[in-house]
Amino acid sequence: EYGDIFQRYDQQTFGAHFAEVAVDSASGEVRVRRMLAVCAAGRIINPKTARSQIIGGMTMGIGGALMEELVVDKRYGFFVNHDLAGYELPVHADVPHQEVIFLDEADPMSGPLKAKGIGELGISGAAAAVANAVYNATGVRVRHYPITLDKYLDRLPAMT
């Protein structure tokens, strides 16, 4: 029978994402150079699969921040890019060096294994880290994903 531990204690995972981007000063093209995720997720039982889970989420964050967009024809209500021919996804060349650091943590309240779930920890914050890196590089804040040239090119500072 389940106890009341979930009512008495918060049992979340915590993470921080960092991204470094390069923005071409002439074309405005954004390239992610490297990413880092630091995660506190209890005892990591299988480091290889846990790392892969986080890296997969970071890759999805790149796609969400820079290229993935579902286009709807508002006149007829259908999806314009309804297949992978018109829906942009990150490919190997778009994914930079990614590093994951797991903090050594054993939460005594999280169960007998002292482990927590990390399912969404890799994507939570990854796109925001990319967006903040674009802002730091350009000085232009884009508030709607994906961050595409049409949303910031006319606001880039003049080249000297």
Residue 6 has pLDDT above 80, yes or no: no
Of the candidates 133, 147, 136, the one whose C-alpha atom is nearest the C-alpha of residue 63 is: 147
pTM: 0.88
Helices (H) and strands (E) in the chain, counts: 4, 5
pLDDT recorded at residue 117: 86
Q: pLDDT tens digit string along 120-134?
A: 999 999 999 999 999
Q: What is the pLDDT of residue 160?
A: 64
CA 117, chain centre distance (Å): 17
Catalytic residue flag (residue 120): yes
Residue 100, beta-bridge partner list: 37
| Rounded CA separation 64/136 (Å) | 18
d(C-alpha 42, C-alpha 11), whole Å: 9
Residue with tokens 């995660």: 39
Angle at 54 between CA 92 and CA 106, to 5 degrees: 160
CA distance 34 to 67: 17
Residue range 48-82, pLDDT digits in tens: 999 999 999 999 999 999 999 999 999 999 999 88
Cα–Cα separations (whole angstroms), residue 114 to 7, 11, 85, 109? 17, 11, 44, 7
Q: Mind listing the pLDDT tens digit for each residue in 142-152?
A: 999 999 999 99
Residue 1: the pLDDT is 67
